[in-house]
């Protein structure tokens, strides 16, 4: 899923191309994409783009007349900048947004259609789509601690909860926790003040560094290879590969459709975290320590 650094570079690339331009036409190719009916989607046509905003993991086209197009890419949604009038491939194409300078297409890989498009008729209606998480890039230590301690969850769950923190998902939560040297299953209420401070600093540093990396990688081009798995990442998607800090093999725990990747030596004192499925299957044969 595109997360905060990816959404920021999408936002900046779009602003360079369409800010001030009229959205000439919206073509929706699947009925599952559009989640609102009032106002009708046709009402955006001919309106100028006054700005490109970010709402958590959502991309917002602020249009003249206080209208807001809100795109949520979910897991497999991706944006592409093409020549004007181009339609996306039929199998994965969801929508096309036509401007004088080109066409923005929206695709979604896989069979599940999770990406969404909302049209909000006011700034107040737009706020209704905001899950409420704080902006971690600009948050103070006090704001960060308040959100973190507002519920007693694991750090992995808290960091990826959009009601607490805006824009962090599965990939960057792994990277943040590795940088902070904290276990993904540590409970928020058990953190001491020094650990909270370390997590706050790691969150801002990791996200800031990745925004700069992606900006450098794409330059003035449009972000075409947005992925949650990057070779330069420390632990996310690197199960079995060496930790860049200590060289120990990266571990993972799998749950539902997600997984948490971590370094046992750097983050859990060498203890292997129990995988909900595999550890139950192996029972007494499940290794408890990295050395095992």
Q: Are 107 and 80 in contact (CB under 8 A)?
A: yes
Residues 6+ apart with CB under 8 A from 112: 76
CATH homologous superfamily, domain 4-127: MutM-like, N-terminal (3.20.190.10)
Q: What is the DSSP letter of 188?
A: G
Residue 292 has pLDDT above 70, yes or no: no
In this structure, what token pair is assigned to residue 147? 């959100």
Q: What are phi and psi of 255, to 5 degrees?
A: -150, 135
Tokens of 227: 């992925």
Secondary structure of residue 255 in the 3-state scheme: strand
CB neighbour class for 92 (10 Å; exposed up to 12, middle 13-18, buried from 19): middle
pLDDT for the residue numbered 248: 96
| 176, two tokens | 């943040």
Instruction: Pinpoint the residues of the chain covered by CATH 3.20.190.10.
Output: 4-127
The pLDDT tens digits for 116-145 are 999 999 999 999 999 999 999 999 999 999
Tokens representing 188 are 């928020």
Mean pLDDT of 12-30: 97
CATH classification number, 141-285, choose in 3.90.1570.10, 3.40.50.300, 3.40.50.740, 1.10.8.50: 1.10.8.50
Residue carrying the six token digits 């490109």:
52
Give mean pLDDT, residues 39-68. 96
Compute the average pLDDT of residues 23-47.
Answer: 95
Per-residue model confidence as pLDDT tens digits over 180-224: 999 999 999 999 999 999 999 999 999 999 999 999 999 999 998
State the average pLDDT for the chain.
Answer: 92
Structure tokens at 143: 């704001």
Arithmetic mean of pLDDT, 69-93 = 95
- The DSSP element (H or E) to which 258 belongs, if any, is strand 258-262
Residues of the chain with CATH 1.10.8.50: 141-285
CA 245, 246, 250, 255 torsion: positive or negative?
negative
- Cα distance between residue 82 and residue 62, in whole Å: 21
Question: Is the preceding peptide bond at 39 cis, omega within 30 degrees of 0?
Answer: yes
| Bridge partner list, 82 | 103
Q: What value does the mean pLDDT take over residues 140-166?
A: 95
| pTM for this prediction | 0.91
Q: Judge whether 156 and 184 are in contact, CB under 8 Å.
A: yes
Write the pLDDT tens digit of every residue in 225-259. Answer: 898 889 999 999 999 999 999 999 999 988 766 78
Strands (E), 20-137: 22-23, 25-28, 47-55, 58-63, 67-72, 77-82, 93-98, 103-108, 116-120
CA 285 to chain centre: 36
């Amino acid at each position: 899923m595109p997360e905060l650094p990816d959404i920021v570079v999408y936002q900046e690339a779009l602003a360079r191309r369409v800010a001030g331009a009229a959205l000439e036409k919206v073509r929706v190719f699947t009925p599952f994409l559009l989640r609102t009916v009032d106002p009708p989607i046709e009402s955006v046509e001919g309106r100028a783009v006054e700005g490109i905003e970010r709402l958590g993991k959502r991309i917002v086209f602020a249009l003249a007349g206080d209208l807001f197009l809100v795109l949520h890419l979910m897991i497999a949604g991706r944006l592409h900048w093409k020549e004007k009038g181009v339609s996306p491939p039929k199998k994965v194409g969801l929508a096309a947004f036509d401007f004088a300078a080109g066409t923005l297409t929206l695709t979604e890989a896989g069979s599940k259609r999770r990406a969404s498009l909302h049209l909000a008729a006011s700034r107040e209606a737009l706020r209704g789509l905001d899950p409420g998480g704080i902006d971690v890039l600009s948050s103070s230590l006090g704001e960060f601690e308040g959100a973190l301690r507002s519920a007693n969850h694991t750090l992995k769950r808290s960091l990826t909860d959009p009601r607490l923190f805006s824009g962090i998902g599965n990939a960057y939560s792994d990277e943040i926790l590795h940088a902070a040297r904290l276990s993904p299953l540590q409970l928020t209420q058990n953190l001491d003040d020094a650990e909270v401070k370390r997590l706050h600093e790691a969150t801002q540093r990791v996200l800031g560094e990745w925004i700069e990396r992606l900006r450098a990688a794409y330059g003035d081009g449009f972000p075409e290879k947005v992925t949650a798995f990057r070779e330069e990442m420390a632990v996310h998607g690197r199960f079995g590969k060496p930790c860049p800090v200590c060289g120990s093999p990266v571990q993972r725990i799998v749950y539902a459709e997600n997984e948490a990747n971590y370094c046992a030596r750097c983050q859990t004192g060498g203890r292997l975290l129990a995988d909900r499925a595999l550890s139950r299957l192996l029972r007494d044969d499940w290794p408890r320590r990295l050395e095992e």
